[in-house]
Amino acid sequence: MNMIVAWLFWCVPLHPVHLSVCEANYNPHSQNLELALKVFVEDMEQSLMERTGKEVRFGDDLTDARHDSLINVYLQEVFLVKADDSLLTWHMLGKDGQLGDMWIYMEVPLADGFQELVFEDKVLMDLFADQKNLIHFTYGEFKQSVACTVLEPVGRVLLGGSRQ
pTM confidence score: 0.86
Say if CB 118 and CB 146 are below 8 A apart.
no
Asked whether residue 32 is domain-assigned, the answer is yes
Say if CB 92 and CB 116 are below 8 A apart.
no
Asked whether residue 9 is domain-assigned, the answer is no
The alpha-helical segments, DSSP class H, found in the chain are: 2-11, 41-52, 68-78
Range of the domain at 119: 20-158
Q: pLDDT, tens digit, for every residue of 47-105? A: 999 999 999 998 888 888 889 999 999 999 999 999 999 999 999 999 999 889 999 99
Asked whether residue 6 is domain-assigned, the answer is no
Number of domains in the chain: 1
Say if CB 43 and CB 50 are below 8 A apart.
no
Nearest CA to 123 among 103, 145, 92, 148?
Answer: 148
Asked whether residue 125 is domain-assigned, the answer is yes
Asked whether residue 163 is domain-assigned, the answer is no
Q: pLDDT, tens digit, for every residue of 108-163? A: 999 999 999 999 999 999 999 999 999 999 999 999 999 999 999 999 999 975 55
pLDDT of residue 64: 85
Asked whether residue 87 is domain-assigned, the answer is yes
Asked whether residue 117 is domain-assigned, the answer is yes
